[in-house]
Structure 1
Amino acid sequence: MLIDIVFNDAFARSLKYYYEQREIERQVISLPLFLGLGDIAQVNLLETRKTLLRIRNTHEPSGNSGTLYQMIVTGAADLQAAAAAGESLRIWWTDLPDDLCGFIWLCEELKGFKAPISMVHVPLTLTQGNTLYQLDSISDLTPPDFDNHHIFRLETQLTQETRLAYSNQWRALKRDNTPVRVVLNGHLLSQPIDFYDRFLLANLSRRQAVEIDEAISNTISFGPSGVPDWWYRHRIDYLVSNKVLAFQEGHHDRVGFV
């Protein structure tokens, strides 16, 4: 049985629903590792995700870092077992940092396996007729989109040589271990932890405090794609604690420059 591996849990649910509606038997392994952020240098990569998931949990009321971490551990174990058994694997990814980092990490993990492996590299811009669709996340794909945009036709084989090439890129990122990884002009680059702050600060006013929800919404809408809401909330907390920004508590919490 072909096994799909994805790095976005919302997308995993859409893919599973697509298969269920068509009575297609397929396993989908979800590994929401958020590898565009945080420490990646430890020998046990999954352990590095605990800290990041706790940050996420702080800023997402519905978040449960323990449940999500267990999903990742279970998914990673299922993946290793499937690869060792020679099951066919298919990796889904985009050019957004979390997906791209997940993809090259997986190339490192799977470089020695002989199992047949393919990939679906989903473009962030799709067309249908004379209409252009821009994806901010792979999770923007809905089940009808798979057929409307012929997504499965994008599948290509991922040879062992190609896996080795991408695994070299992962090892270079791991050695650098700068805490933010971004895609600039098609290149995956390491950046300092405050890289995304500039986009957030550009949506604040020097005249008056701005609602935090509004500032983050505008930053996500007009800033780089693929940056989660909770990361901006985490950075606001840091900037407030370092007196770069001033916090105003209220029915709608606000923030502004000191």
Structure 2
Amino acid sequence: MLELCFNEGVGGLLAYWQSGKQKILCLGDDLSIGPIAGGPDSQERREQLVRILGSDPWGELPAGEWIDEAWQRYCRTWERLRTLPEGTEVRVWLDRTPGSRCGFLASAEALAFRKARVTAALLPEWVARPDGTAVEYSGWGEAGPEELDALLEDCCRGVPQVLLGGLSHRWRQLQEENTPLRAVINGRLHSVPEDFYDGMILSRLPEAGQTIRLAELLGRTLGECQPGIGDWWLACRAEALATEGRFCLERDPDRFYNSHVTAL
């Protein structure tokens, strides 16, 4: 069985779980952020990936051609998906993150065309443990490799071909809308404006006049709101909000996430 996921962290988790990557396809570009009209491996997506990987907010990434290599690897993965042998068994790792939902919709057409036998591994929202505690999940990347076998026992279900066709149609609709973001609202994926997450950032500011590091503000937003996206977009929106005068941002010239945010 081929494992298909949509997050590099999940890809690493599955590789550790399987002790190898030969049966894993990881489409790690978060298609919930940025333009999608031209397709997942279009030039516009390449430019989006360069913006994300090249931002380096901590100033610690090595120089070199690694970003281009990452893009080429991503394109090769899409080509492998589109040329699968007919009838390949594929298990798709799905969770509540918008990137996972977008990745599945974007890949549905290729899966349907290759008549893949698709099983969806749907991450449960929470799991009760024998010790009387419970754990809540928002993405597969939050699970440990030792948990996967137990989680898979009850969370897998077959995906009929007709549903793959419907998902592909929904993806084409989202491509036509081509908004800056896509988000999960009431369990469904919707096109949303670029300021969709702004309220989450602003609600995590300290009292007026108090100052915190930008990294702490973003950490609060990610941990308490669980938007299911990475910190890059939130950092971009924090810059935009500061420009609009919603708070003061004193930039650290070397490490952007060390910048200081002062509430007004």
Shorter-chain TM-score bucket reads: 0.7 to 0.9
**What residue in structure 1 maps to residue 220 of structure 2?**
218
| More moved, 205-214 vs 236-245 | 236-245
Q: Distance in 2 between matches of 1:41 and 1:17?
A: 34
Q: Is the 8 A contact 2:7 2:26 kept in 1?
A: yes
Code of the residue aligned with 2:31 in structure 1: it is L
Code of the residue aligned with 1:160 in structure 2: it is Q
Q: Is the 8 A contact 2:41 2:75 kept in 1?
A: no
Q: Is the 8 A contact 1:88 1:116 kept in 2?
A: yes
RMSD (CA atoms): 2.4
- Residues 65, 137 of structure 1: alpha-carbon distance in 2 compared, 3 angstrom cutoff: farther
Code of the residue aligned with 1:117 in structure 2: it is V
Q: Which runs of 5+ in 1 are unaligned?
A: none
Offset of 1:227 from its aligned partner? 1.8
Offset of 1:243 from its aligned partner? 4.0
Q: Is the 8 A contact 1:18 1:143 kept in 2?
A: yes
Runs of 4+ in structure 1 displaced over 6 angstroms? none
Code of the residue aligned with 1:30 in structure 2: it is C
State whether structure 2 residue 181 is matched by structure 1 residue 180: yes
* Offset from partner CA, 1:137-195 (integer Å, 9 cap, x none): 21111110113x33254222222111112122212211211111111221221110011
Give 1:206-245 correspondences, 5 Å limit: 206-245=208-247
Identity %: 23
Q: Is the 8 A contact 2:26 2:77 kept in 1?
A: yes
Q: Distance in 2 between matches of 1:85 and 1:96?
A: 29
How many residues align? The count is 252
**What residue in structure 2 maps to residue 28 of structure 1?**
24
Offset of 1:12 from its aligned partner? 1.1
- Residues 46, 155 of structure 1: alpha-carbon distance in 2 compared, 3 angstrom cutoff: farther
Offset of 1:70 from its aligned partner? 2.3
Q: Which runs of 5+ in 2 are unaligned?
A: none
**What residue in structure 2 maps to residue 14 of structure 1?**
13
Q: Is the 8 A contact 1:117 1:159 kept in 2?
A: yes
Offset of 1:44 from its aligned partner? 5.8
Give 1:109-120 correspondences, 5 Å limit: 109-120=110-121
TM-score norm. by structure 1 comes to: 0.87
- Residues 77, 4 of structure 1: alpha-carbon distance in 2 compared, 3 angstrom cutoff: same
Which of 33, 50, 53 is 1:54 aligned to?
Answer: 50
Q: Distance in 2 between matches of 1:66 and 1:242?
A: 34
